[in-house]
Chain A
Amino acid sequence: MDRQALIRRLEEIVGPQGVISERNQLRTYECDGLANFRVIPSVVVLPETADQARETVRACHEAGVPFVARGSGTGLSGGALPVSDGVLIVLARMRRILEVDLDNQRAVVEPGVLNLQVTKEVAPDGLYYAPDPSSQQVCSIGGNVAENSGGAHCLKYGFTTNHVTGLEVVLPDGELVHLGGGKAPDPTGYDLLGAFVGSEGTLGIATTVTLRLLRKPEAVRTLLAAFDGTDQAGEAVSRIIGAGIVPAAIEMMDALAMEAAEAAVHVHYPEGAGAVLVVELDGPAAEVEHQFDEVERLCREAGSTTIQIAEDDDQRALFWKGRKSAFAAVGRISPDYYVQDGVIPRTALPEVLRRINQLAADRGLRVANVFHAGDGNLHPLVLYDGEVEGQEQRAEELAAEILFTCLEHGGSITGEHGVGFDKKQYMPRQFSAEDLDTMQLVRCAFDPDGRANPGKVFPTPRLCGERPGPRRVHPAEQAGLAEVF
């Protein structure tokens, strides 16, 4: 690839103010929210319209150059890690809300629109956009689509894939397709929309997203319940679920996580609490009132020492701010940390937490736990000091072992942060070779040349030209250039 020629071509498409090729500026894009991996892209492009995005992809296709898409760069699995000989396409300037259809409860947005922006836009009309990752004030809808992002409220309301009803997608060869029914249900044909959401940028770039909006519930009640430890808190969760109640969210934090969050946000968690639950119920008022009382009772029965009930929106917002800031706030109690993301069946929670604590103790490291207790999605924050010899290595090993524990208990290596670059090495532990090859059939249909976000999700690329069937050895493997993990 002639870099200068490509730069000129890209400048023709987006204008010089949309192309970055100077080293210092390129370096600011060399990682996303996961700063452990850094690769300087060859060029960064910032299209402002869907047409520009499409032309950019086409230019990459014509030049035979790989590309990586990036929204706000807040992902935690390295999904937007650039490729050194490729183009980084940043969608942050495509941030218009194109249409809001109140009657059909749909919004059509560009991929750079921030998650929270959607809710802000429709809140005056009594609607909101349900998926609420902790980074929602900065993460982009396009990023949410790529990762199938969840959030605390996905326990009741589902994830991005349940709230995206249409996509305009630029395929890696520059072709434009529309997936999903948009405003109408049950589109004919294959559910390629379902395959695309969560494909982590390996199938193409979404340039327009149609979102489902929900009506704000009549009532919302939130409480903060403190417990002596995570076991008791987990017991409370079991009782709540067992009673047939489906809260909008149940989040748990352990003592270490609370310490960090308190430093950042000053929630005033009860002193000495070993674990805290944030439980939120929403829905029709009569139902919420009744069930909320029951939740409070169940928490006490499970041994809750203190229960704080949010009196108003501000207090409720504070409870949530504490929880949502927990990751980044951990930076205050430790020089370095690594956010892990794993899933286990909810019923395995107490045992897995115990195991994590044991593993951590064995390695002489601390782990702060924050998680979606309702659906078993753990976020152990492995704390370490990179300056101390060997600690970073041990922290990585611990993080990996936590994942293996999740798999042992029938869970998954990622609940919402994605596989990205960080976890592709673990995919063969969760899936067989046939499973991975079958998934890659989809990739080959969308991206036969393997140019969309290569090196992510799958540990070894499938040669799309080969006939499907029992897996053959990849030439790179054969030549000893690549390893199957």
Chain B
Amino acid sequence: MTEQTGRGPEPAHERASATQVGARGPEGLPDEVGAEPGQADRATAGAGRPEAGVAVLPAFDDHHPPEQELIDDCVHCGFCLPTCPTYVLWGEEMDSPRGRIYLMEIGRQGEAMNDEMVRHFDQCLGCMACVTACPSGVQYGKLIEATRQQVERRYPRSRRDRAFRALIFRLFPYPRRLRLLRGPLRLYQRSGLGTLARRAGLLERLPRRLSAMERLVPDLGRPEPVPEVTPAVGPRRRRVGMLTGCVQRVFFPGVNAATARVLAADGCEVVTPRAQGCCGALSLHAGREAEAQGFARAAIETFEATGVDQVVVNAAGCGSAMKEYGHLLRDDPVFAERARAFSEKVRDLSELLVELGPVAPRHPLPMKVAWHDACHLGHAQGIRAQPRAALRAIPGLELREIAESEICCGSAGIYNLVEPEPAAELGDRKAANVLATGADLLVTSNPGCLLQLRNALERRGRHLAMAHVAEVLDAAVRGADPASLLARD
């Protein structure tokens, strides 16, 4: 069947203008989509996206369409609905996992990949809470990734959309470029220009997505480099590599340093290759297949060269992506087996620490801590018990559970950049739940979540100390003063 783009063949009265269904015009939206706690129920589907009147037929081509076998696993029971953030927000079938799988199915059956279909795929956060909830074992992660790849390759996005995405992907996976921004950004913040601009409402004039970006930038502290090799403290139990990440290394350098120290304290020699690049998580989760594969190959080569036993990751999204390298490079005759073997070596920090069992004594940290399950840790990797165990092992630390912990905070990779409105609603919802715990410190293991939550709290005029789990463990191992954690933001 020949591929077609342009106006679909349906008669005019069958096609509702895409902006009508669930969408309000971009102009009509308030900038601060501050939902009341747990009351985010305004449909904002697709706001801010200019529709092109496109229909791609057939919806999917032969290069890794969403697999029929995986689609067939879905029995249409709907258990995924209440756990899906977009269904929770909008209550529409099309923005639920069940509905998205249905769209994939009808796409395979011959319906066109049109603006509406793409919008619903785009609005999926990729949080995989549905995978956790599904009794039938549907591998939704694979389905949405395959679908996103089809969309990225074959659906003609608007010029603005393309430009924005290009900007993101020319920036975030490149720590050096991010670092170049550090200086000017730091100046921007320190000089109070940022606050002034915000107060003066200048940011309202920026395109919505750029202003979203601006808000997400954290306050930048001093950079803290990690040595290429960190020797184990005491007998060496394992030799591990560490991924420093992109956003993590540039904006939260202290986290990497803490990670290395904690691993060393528990008997690991930590190898941190200076030349490492991006793991490709953002690209993979956004459906940019070739780009992700390129990053993956480079990462595999970098760590293979070190000969480490395992590769430790302290960012949930990155760990999840690296565990998928086998699937990502399955078609590559050179890398397929290497990727598979590599993925088996990947460990999240808390996962490894619990696997090893602690060695260094943990000093007391009397504080109330709320642990936030990052989606790519809890849902995608199924790692929930280990971080909790690691935190509970610290004497004096009281762990508080956050209500609705299975629902994404809205960060979701680049989601809070490309879909700022639902991201903000979800962020608000999560912020409310976090504040309700009465905790002194919010702990998580994903830089995206930290940024998102900080932003959401700021919108409410609230402030809560936040830290990465590595930093908390590091403080416990070093016997640091809890105030050092609580004083930061």
Contact = CB atoms under 8 A, between A and B. Distances in A.
Give the most central of B20, B77, B82, B137: most A CB within 10 Å.
B77
A17 B75 contact: no
B73 A331 contact: yes
B16 A35 contact: no
Contacts of A33: 76-78
B117 interface: yes
A331 B75 contact: yes
B341 interface: no
B223 interface: no
A432 interface: no
Given A16-B21, A327-B77, A25 B94 contact: yes
B77 A17 contact: no
A288 B103 CA distance: 50
Interface string B420-431: 000000000000
Interface residues on B, range: 35 or more
A266 to B, nearest CB: 12
Interface in A112-157: 112, 114, 135, 137-139
Contacts of A355: none
A139 B82 CA distance: 9
A305 interface: no
A239 interface: no
Contact of B78 (A11, A48, A138, A265): A138
Contacts of A28: 93-94, 99, 102-103
Interface in A16-38: 16-25, 27-29, 31-33, 35
Nearest to B109: A27
Contact of B111 (A18, A24, A35, A264): A24
Contacts of B183: none
B449 to A, nearest CB: 24
A21 to B, nearest CB: 4
Interface residues of A, number: 47
B78 A329 contact: no
A23 B13 contact: no
Contacts of B93: 28-29, 73, 90
Contacts of B116: 22, 24-25
B41 A17 contact: no
Contacts of B82: 114, 137-138
B91 A46 contact: yes
Nearest to B134: A328
Contacts of B45: 17
A279 B99 CA distance: 36
A335 interface: yes
Contacts of B137: 263-264, 331-332
Interface string B279-304: 00000000000000000000000000
A38 B109 CA distance: 14
Contacts of B78: 33, 72-74, 135, 138-139
Given A92-B92, A93-B43, 9 more contacts: A16-B19, A22-B114, A24-B114, A27-B111, A32-B76, A90-B91, A264-B137, A328-B136, A331-B75
Interface of A: 3-4, 7, 11, 16-25, 27-29, 31-33, 35, 46, 48, 72-74, 90, 92-93, 95, 112, 114, 135, 137-139, 263-265, 325, 327-329, 331-332, 335, 337
The 3 A-B residue pairs with the shortest CB-CB distance, nearest first, are: A328-B135, A331-B136, A92-B91
